[in-house]
């Protein structure tokens, strides 16, 4: 099973992340990763990669929830 992390912020060379269960984790930044706040990172074979599909799904789900609140 893959581990998923959501980037909360970038700070002092680390991506401060949160798991889907709310646990915090600081992940050292890799210069090859192009990440920003809100991105979903996946740990595969000991390497963190950005999951563009999961990030986009999450952003769409959040936007839909916001629209429901103000509709």
Q: Where are the domains of the chain?
A: 3-70
Residues in Cβ contact with 39 at an 8 Å cutoff, skipping those fewer than 6 apart: 6, 7, 50, 55
pLDDT tens string, the chain, 71 residues long: the values are 678 999 999 999 999 999 888 899 999 987 777 899 999 999 888 888 999 999 999 999 999 999 988 87
For the whole model, what pTM was predicted? 0.84
What pLDDT is stored for residue 55 in this prediction?
96
At 18, list the tokens: 């949160």
What is the residue-wise DSSP string for 15-68?
EEEEETTS-EEEEE--TT----TT-EEEEETTEEEE-HHHHHHHHHHHHHHHHH
Span 3-70 CATH architecture: Roll (2.30)
What pLDDT is stored for residue 1 in this prediction?
66
What pLDDT is stored for residue 39 in this prediction?
96
């Amino acid at each position: 099973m893959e581990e998923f992390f959501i980037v909360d912020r970038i700070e002092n060379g680390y991506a401060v992340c949160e798991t889907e269960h709310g646990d915090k984790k600081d992940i050292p930044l890799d210069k090859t990763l192009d990440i920003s706040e809100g991105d979903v990172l996946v740990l595969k074979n000991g390497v963190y990669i950005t999951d563009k599909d999961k990030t986009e799904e999450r952003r769409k789900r959040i936007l839909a929830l916001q629209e429901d609140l103000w509709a």
